[in-house]
Amino acid sequence: MTFVVTDNCIKCKYMDCVEVCPVDCFYEGDNMLVINPDECIDCGVCEPECPAEAILPDTQPGLESWIKLNAQYAEVWPNITSKREAPADAKAFDGVANKLEQYFSAEPGQGD
Ligand code: SF4
Ligand code: SF4
C-alpha cells in the first residue's frame, strides 16, 4: 500500500504535505506533486495535511491511473522536502473538475 496524490493537487500545490513526510518521498512537477510508491512507508501523516484533500490511500477504488502517474513521474521529477509559496491562483483552482485533462503538465518542477 502507498498514498497517492490525485487530481486536486494540480495547480493547487500548497506543499504542506512535503513538510511532514518522514521519508521525503514527494517529487515536484511543474504544477503538482507526486509520491514515490517505493519510498512511501504508508504512515498516512500527509493525508490530513493536504488542504486540497488530494492525497488518498491507494486502497480507495478508482485510483489506478493515479497510482501509475505517481510512480511514473516520481522517477523523473526532482525531490522536494521543503515548502515554498503556493501559486497565487491556487485557491481559484481548488475543486475545479478534470484538471488532469485540462491542466496537467509533465514538465518537472524546481525541486529543493
Ligand atoms: S498539500 Fe496537497 S495540494 Fe498541496 S502539494 Fe501536497 S498534495 Fe498537492
Ligand atoms: S504516507 Fe507518510 S511516507 Fe507516504 S508520502 Fe505520506 S507522509 Fe510520506
d(CA 111, CA 109) in angstroms, rounded, equals 6
Residue with cell 492525497: 55
For residue 21 and ligand 1, the question of a CB distance below 6 A is answered with no
Domains and their CATH numbers in the chain: 3-83 (3.30.70.20)
Three-state DSSP class for 35?
Answer: strand
pLDDT tens digits, residue range 81-111?
Answer: 999 999 999 999 999 999 999 999 999 999 9
Whole-model pTM: value is: 0.96
d(CA 40, CA 60) in angstroms, rounded, equals 16
For residue 15 and ligand 1, the question of a CB distance below 6 A is answered with yes
Label residues 57-86 b or e (16+ Cβ within 10 Å = b): ebeeeebeebbebbbebbeebeebeeeeeb
pLDDT tens digits, residue range 17-38?
Answer: 999 999 999 999 999 999 999 9
